[in-house]
Structure 1
């Protein structure tokens, strides 16, 4: 026995080449001992003269996909043997972090392009620096037998790579080659090169179903307006923007690219990134009425090889029936996508769990996450100071953009985007995700949290778990999620939260959606709000913006303009419903205010074909200028920006109609002025709380802050006060579960 050190490494350290990295590092420092994976991460026993420098290098030189949270060292007596070895994984359970799927690395890309390499043209090349992870994992520890690669027995050459510590494929669980790995085919096919046949389908204007990492995509030629229209017709998706895939050169030819945006596109997560259109040479049908396009780079060898063959950008939209989750199985794809697709590019590696593509953008205030999914999940966030002793907690989020959050051992894992829980198959996916995360992370909650709304399916589900339930008010959860993401300590003091979204049940039983809250993790007060207006028809008001415009115009004494703008709608029936309150609850939603202004400016009574369509149109239409900014500031002054608790809209709509009809203002100018007005109104009320010493900072959260223009203008209006925003988690309901979880944790640790 000799005296050495035991080193525990915690974080994202499995499936990223960490053990071969440690092996090579130990050789460099002349150490003896071993390294292994176990449920807590990576465990090292080392003996030699340079163990201190060795421990320092573990953190400073970690592999590119690793995330080292802690390196814990203690003396130990053990038999180090004659050299340094990589030992077999030990134990069951899950304390370590699982690695998200990662885009193809440059080394693997070089191989599939090299005619002399044995992986030339192979669609499933990967190594410890890239490839599938979470989408193929069935259980921990992360070994090949626990993944969907288990059926593929390694050939001699792959086995040699897998066994060699100095090889970048050492213990890369998905390692494969054309001899032993997954195979690709097209159906119907002619027996030739699948990529050539797939490219032929796309060149002919057909729809191709492509099996990717987390599910199927439906692909068409993004330069072919007829093919795009055909896909919209078949998928019954008239206006919602399509995601695009192309090389960086293709992206740069059609959209403006900053250095930050290039870096985000090229990250291992490979998200869809919203980019400003450069020209109109791509069909308008890709994103009707929008000024941005959502682009992603190819992130698997399959995608790279397909793009190389077709030599043009592709639409890559989720392969699913409207409202349902993305298809992941081959038979499921044949059954459900047969009416959409003219051909299928298939393979025989199973997908363990569906993951949509992440969607992000770069704003003047940094990165913004709109949908957190492939490439980001299951990455974790460290809990802020004060939460160290909280028990295991699971939170179930809301009804829309559902996502689950688990808390365990000082970390919060915000799960992937699931969707709308009213859809039966999405509900099935939600229940499966709950079981899935609990098993993969060996977590059994002692407390569960949910939305205050008792009719949300996730809230009802929480009641069935057999442990104490903490209901959390919707907008309080938004505030807390932003605090947690920014590392705000448990007892860091109160903040002013500007929370703007669609709808959420308030503590008074009313429908909220535009509030200034004074609060922290422990509780909140509602200090200001948008003047409520009836939601005529309840949920129908979110689908038909004219209903929101009608009540705002009528309230401002502009009924004659409502009669002109929306003459084709049943206005009197709607007015009667609003007056009587029949299925028309009062609501302070800023989301519905966006709908109302968009309906007036667009002079349209058409229904929205997807959530947020009118608000996205309004943001895209807004044109910054000195005149527009001055107009917005003038509106704010004239509509009474004295910080009373209720923000009136009557004068706003009177000024809007006057400037449309008599002032000669363009609609882009008016759209910008509305954003400016809104930012000032809420900022003034939050600023009062800071200047009166009641709040230490301002939080901006809720789905309306996905609007980059509104976010920027609000931060500007707040001046030099500290402002916390979302950059890692969604400001929309996709982040609710994180807020619910930390609020429940605050209650638990404060008892």
Structure 2
């Protein structure tokens, strides 16, 4: 070698951070190094991936590195430092490096097209194998115990590689080169029952429980009304809608209407459930009284195999098979992941329970997404998206935020990232609280974080609050609606003051009251209530949230028409005495936006009772085909918005349910825009945060941001998280982290 050539030879140390473990990044780097004739090594490190390359074309290597990364990878930062050449001759994948973690596990990904082709190739050794995967697809978060993401740190450590899999794992030319979940029929996980038995049970009208990626699922024929109704009885799920799965994107149009944005979501590697306009040609019990149906495509190889068996000649019909897919948990209980527990608890629910021997280390329900105003909106964020972090505007201290009690999530901050857990559910049973605590342990362990403080809701009697108080760390209490607003502020990296319109069902107010329709002025770590919806009585307290006719009665009473309650709601046993109850002083009141939807639904005869959260509002929304606005349908006085004039119109005899739903939605949205615009001008603030569970309503999610924009304001809406209580923990974490950064609270104190 000439002296000039020797001088051109360089050795670089390259550190890559981001989502770069468990995505085939090391094999990718290996192939890139081979292309440019470089020596050195690549390893998983605590900060991501560490690469050392030596040779004459190191600059070309660095330039190409971010351009052809694996599909599941996300590169946040590349640091390059020149180091002394070692005259290395080859390139290798080395042992993972220990140290303080700053990388992350990536989310589970649906089966890729190459694995799908192999799944149905009789010449391939993975033919019809339900656990086929590669570097670009398959389980990640749900099987990972800790970082670095090596096989020994996952549930796959229980399966010793056969000779063929070991050869693929070590072969740089293989798609399974260092694929940690690699397996085949000879050495990998196995189902307890064959695919033919599963398909036969579904085709025969039975209910089947199968162990999926993040937990057990219940399946049945979505065209079989009797099977779907039996599933409802057995699961004690009276009205709440079920999601359905079709076998391909081409089949979606058979059950629902879609647009390009919805199709893109369906086909994404996350494979969420997407809410679509229903064609109403499935079993009526799928989504009673609703205009939309949740649809998803197959996620795991197992799903594809079931559809393949259902399409066999003896089972084929004119229309493609459609399967109900719902989580296999009983009412209010967490998702089942343990085989023995599933066999015990699902006895009498499922006619067939299908287990397998690969452990699920982190449960993850299916994510649910809709498209509102042309953008994706989370309803439930879980499998396929978690634990993808939310990037923060600045680096903050490590804190744990424990969210609320409904639609629970937890958040952990690490440097300039916030990791929001998968949807856990409602914390109202001992099992759900144990699942909540397990999620915290798994997230803190996998991220390598020791929080310095715990943030929680202001409500003193939540299970999440009690958990926070039982931990020997500094505490930061955050008001519910402030947390809703702060979650959006943190997600958008907004600096400076903002007006926040938060519309939801219930939140403990800073005055101890029952809040839910709030205008807040937010600045740094503080918020001030500058407006709210007009208080409305809640006859029966919390019972009124489950019985919309009670909220309708409160509206009638407030309009001086309490004498009509007994006649309008004669089917309700206590209707005769409710007017007298409402006359008594000192009753519970609320400023909740959600309870206004309940009242409207009951007054229009749509829903007097509800069996699940938001049922009345969803059925009210389902009737909307366009909106109308009642001029002078609201009043604003001293920051208090009243919809009294609108409700006076809704109780008129000449208005039907559909017209009333259109009028309620249009007028409420217009009233909110007017309310926000006036307050923004008074406060001299241009940025408006919009959040709370009511923004899951597609009409509000479209018209209120649009109206704010038309008024010259800048609306900020949730994009990476749901607007409901699933986003609370991020807001809590952001406020707590900023407070600690400014002035750490005393241990055991509250802010």
**TM class by shorter-chain length?**
over 0.9
Q: Which residue is equivalent to 1:673? A: 663
1:647 paired with 2:668, answer no
Matches within 5 A, 1:8-87: 8-77=15-84, 79=86, 81-87=88-94
The CA deviation at 1:306 is 0.3
- The 1-side partners of 2:595 and 2:183 are apart by 52
Classify 1:528/1:9 alpha carbon distance in 2 versus 1 (closer, same or farther; 3 Å): same
Whether contact under 8 Å (2:115, 2:133) holds in the other structure is yes
Change (3 A) 1:535 1:79: farther
Q: Answer yes or no: is 1:541 the counterpart of 2:544.
A: yes
Matched, 1:258 2:259: yes
What's the counterpart of residue 496 of structure 1?
499
Q: Hey, what does 2:749 align to over in structure 1?
A: none
Report if aligned partners of 2:220, 2:324 keep a CA contact under 8 Å in 1: yes
1:110 and 2:104 correspond = no
Q: Is the 8 A contact 2:557 2:582 kept in 1?
A: no
CA gap 1:638/1:19 in 2 versus in 1, 3 angstroms: closer
Cα deviation 1:159-178 (Å, max 9, x = unaligned): 11101123111111110111
Alpha-carbon distance between aligned partners in 2 of 1:294 and 1:8, rounded to the nearest angstrom: 42
The alpha-carbon distance between structure 1 residues 203 and 638, as it changes in their structure 2 partners (threshold 3 A), is closer
* Partner residue in 1 for 2:274: 273
- List aligned pairs for 1:173-188, cutoff 5 A: 173-186=180-193
Q: 1:649: how far off? A: 2.8
The match for 1:749 is 741
Which position in structure 2 is the counterpart of 1:240? 240
Residue of structure 1 in register with 2:421 after alignment: 415
1:92 & 1:307 partners in 2: Cα distance? 45
Pick from 469, 485, 488 the counterpart of residue 491 of structure 2: 485
Q: Which residue of 1 aligns with 2:316?
A: none
8 Å contact from structure 1 (residues 394, 407) kept in 2: yes
Find the partner of 2:408 among 402, 407, 427: 402
Contact 2:607–2:616 (Cα < 8 Å) also in 1? no
How far residue 579 of structure 1 moved from its aligned partner, in angstroms, is: 3.8
Give the counterpart of 2:371 among 362, 368, 376. 362
CA deviation profile, 1:533-554 (whole Å, cap 9, x unmatched): 1222222111111111111111
Give the secondary-structure state (helix, strand or coil) at the position aligned to 1:109. Answer: helix
Partner residue, 1:189: none
Distance 2:550 2:446 in 1: 46
Cα distance, 1:693 vs. partner? 5.5
Q: Does structure 2 retain, via aligned residues, the 8 Å contact 1:534–1:581?
A: no
Decide which of 366, 391, 404 is 1:382's aligned counterpart. 391
Query: How many pairs are equivalent?
Result: 723
Match of 2:704 among 706, 714, 723: 714
Deviation at 1:3, TM superposition (A): 5.2
Match of residue 684 from structure 1:
674
> Aligned residue for 1:442?
448
Supply the RMSD in Å over aligned alpha carbons: 1.7
Pairing 1:347–2:342 present: no
How much does 1:9 deviate? Answer: 0.6
Q: Identify if the C-alpha distance between structure 1 residues 151 and 139 changes in structure 2 by more than 3 Å, giving closer, same or farther.
A: same
Hey, what does 1:619 align to over in structure 2? Answer: 621
Q: Is the 8 A contact 1:493 1:695 kept in 2?
A: no
**SS of match in other structure, 1:280:** coil
1:322 deviation in Å?
A: 1.2
Q: Does 1:574 align with 2:569?
A: no
Do residues 168 (structure 1) and 191 (structure 2) align? Answer: no
CA change 1:28–1:604 in 2 (3 A) is closer
Q: Counterpart of 1:260 in 2: which secondary structure?
A: helix
Q: Contact 2:10–2:56 (CA<8 Å) still a contact in 1?
A: no
Q: 1:190 maps to which residue?
A: none
State how far apart, in whole Å, the 2-side matches of 1:367 and 1:213 are: 23
Alignment gaps of 5+ in structure 1: 187-193
In 1, are the aligned partners of 2:387 and 2:422 still within 8 Å (CA)? yes
Alignment match, 1:191? none
Are 1:694 and 2:684 an aligned pair?
yes
Give 1:437 shift: 1.1
The aligned residue for residue 510 of structure 2 is 507
C-alpha distance in 1, partners of 2:410/2:68?
33
User: How far apart, CA to CA, are the structure 1 residues paired with 2:346 and 2:87?
Assistant: 57
Question: Is the contact between residue 146 and residue 447 of structure 2 (CA under 8 Å) also seen in structure 1?
Answer: no
- State the alpha-carbon separation in 1 of the partners of residues 292 and 146 from structure 2: 39
Tell me the distance in 2 between the aligned counterparts of 1:352 and 1:576.
Answer: 54
Bigger mean CA offset, 464-473 vs 570-579: 570-579
Q: Secondary structure at the match of 2:528?
A: strand
Q: CA deviation at 1:367?
A: 0.4
Counterpart pick for 1:321 among 326, 330, 348? 330
1:604 shift after superposition: 4.5
Shift of residue 748 of structure 1?
2.2
- Secondary structure of 1:748's partner? helix
Aligned residues of 2:47 and 2:102 also touching (Cα < 8 A):
yes
User: 2-side partners of 1:80 and 1:409: how far apart?
Assistant: 37
Task: Structure 2: state its 5+ residue gaps.
Answer: 1-5, 312-320, 744-751
Q: What CA deviation, in whole Å up to 9, does each residue of 1:235-278 have, x standing for no partner?
A: 1111100011112232221101211111101111111110111x
Change (3 A) 1:653 1:295: same
Preserved CA contact (<8 Å) 2:407 2:426: yes
Tell me how far 1:456 sits from its aligned partner. Answer: 1.0
Q: Would you say the 8 A contact 1:45–1:80 is kept in 2? A: no
Structure 2 counterpart SS, 1:410: strand
Whole-Å Cα distance in 2 between the matches of residues 689 and 56 of structure 1? 51
Separation in 1, partners of 2:480, 2:684 = 22
Task: Tell me by how many angstroms 1:603 deviates.
Answer: 5.4
Contact 1:494 1:694 in 2 (8 A): no
Relative distance call for 1:604 and 1:100 in structure 2 (3 A) is closer
1:554-565 alignment, distance < 5 Å: 554-565=557-568
Could you list the per-position Cα deviations for residues 641-661 of structure 1 after superposition, in whole angstroms to 9, with x for gaps in the alignment?
A: x56411123222111112xx1
SS in 1 for 2:488: helix
Q: 1:134 to 1:581 in 2, by over 3 A?
A: farther
Further displaced range: 16-25 or 455-464: 455-464
Residue 301 of structure 1: aligned partner: 301
Question: How far apart are 1:4 and its partner, in Å?
Answer: 2.2
